[in-house]
Amino acid sequence: MEATLRAGVLEHGTVELLNATGLGARMQREGAVHKGIELRFDGRGHRIDFVDLAGGKTIMLYAQHEVLKDLIAARLEAGGAILFEASDAALRDIDGKAPRVTFIQSGRAQEIACDFVAGCDGFHGVCRPSIPQSRRHEYVRVYPFGWFGVLVQAPPSSDELIYAHHPEGFALVSTRSPEIQRLYFQCDPQDDVAKWSDDRIWEQFRSRLATLEGWRPREGPILQKNIVAMRSFVCEPMQHGKLFLAGDAAHIVPPTGAKGLNLAVADVWVLARALVEFYRAGRRDLLEGYSERALARIWRAEYFSWWMTSMLHTFPGNDGFQERLQIAELRYVTTSRPKAVTLAENYVGLPLA
């Protein structure tokens, strides 16, 4: 868990929540505040200034697995139990009187009796399929491309993230620390990292990120390579009986815009408040309304991630017409304040309240 690479962008509201819950200390020390991004197309860069366009808000570059380390440490420090290496997890009686989670750990069958189950077990987990098929609907888009991600030992090529549209395909320049860069380029989702030499990878980055002034990425040893598949997915509703889904168990976004972790945090925030009000005041309405409330935000992020993906990637069979529409839209976003505001306020994230 602590080694798997995922996205690295925290929304304004995620940062505030981590700070407010006492989980932000290491993020404040080691993360980097970013005040904008660059959209690059036709050989030119265009800055989207979040501070100006999104009411002073910014984002934080702090890797998702670092957030996980902080969450795990805080849970253990609070005396909470985390059961690692459990297998064969299953839910029982989630719409009955005695909901339970059963699993095997250290060779022994075990069981947890529950008032409620928070299904935070990811896209491939057991919670979503525990909702009877007739009681849920799944909305899916699979994109005909993936992202080839590399971790590079070299200082950042740029102070801010660069999202590049290029006829050969999308490219993204991100960072992890003053010594490590994270870069991605659009690839065939079936491609194999073993077929890509470092030279061939750098060729792609040089070409897709080139500007008229001859910009080049800072190169260095490639420490890791992986391919990320891209899909949009939403399960409705996100609850059934005593089970409440949160995060990837209920929805997936393509990585463009880095919404995945932020959406999971927002789900949990809505669910936590509903649970607190149930135990504090006996209220059931917030639990009953969980799915509807969470889905409003989720669909907005689904829209944003789909829009960014559609605007920036080359689609197989792309003709000149579609490519010119993409360029027209990018010009619009980079010259019209209302359009730029749309990108900026969605990128820094909706308020949690």
Q: Is 46 among the residues known to form the active site?
A: no
Give min distance, CB of 96 to ligand DHB, in A: 40
Contact with ligand DHB (CB under 6 A): which of 158, 181, 239, 256? 256
**What's phi and psi for 231, nearest 5 deg?**
-150, 160
Question: Cβ-closest residue to ligand DHB?
Answer: 174
Stretch that binds ligand DHB, among 76-84, 206-214, 249-257, 317-325 (CB under 6 A): 249-257
Q: Is 27 in the site for ligand DHB (CB under 6 A)?
A: no
Give min distance, CB of 9 to ligand DHB, in A: 5
Give min distance, CB of 160 to ligand DHB, in A: 11
Please count the residues of this chain forming the interface with ligand DHB, following the rule CB under 6 A: 11
Contact with ligand DHB (CB under 6 A): which of 48, 161, 209, 333? 161
Give min distance, CB of 258 to ligand DHB, in A: 4
Q: Is 165 in the site for ligand DHB (CB under 6 A)?
A: no
Catalytic residue among 99, 217, 254, 255: 255
Q: Is 257 in the site for ligand DHB (CB under 6 A)?
A: yes
Q: Residue 115's Cα: distance from chain center in Å?
A: 29
Q: Which is nearer to ligand DHB, 118 or 264 (CB)?
A: 264
Q: Is 97 among the residues known to form the active site?
A: no
Q: Is 279 among the residues known to form the active site?
A: no
Residues in touch with ligand DHB (CB under 6 A): 7-9, 161, 172, 174, 182, 255-258
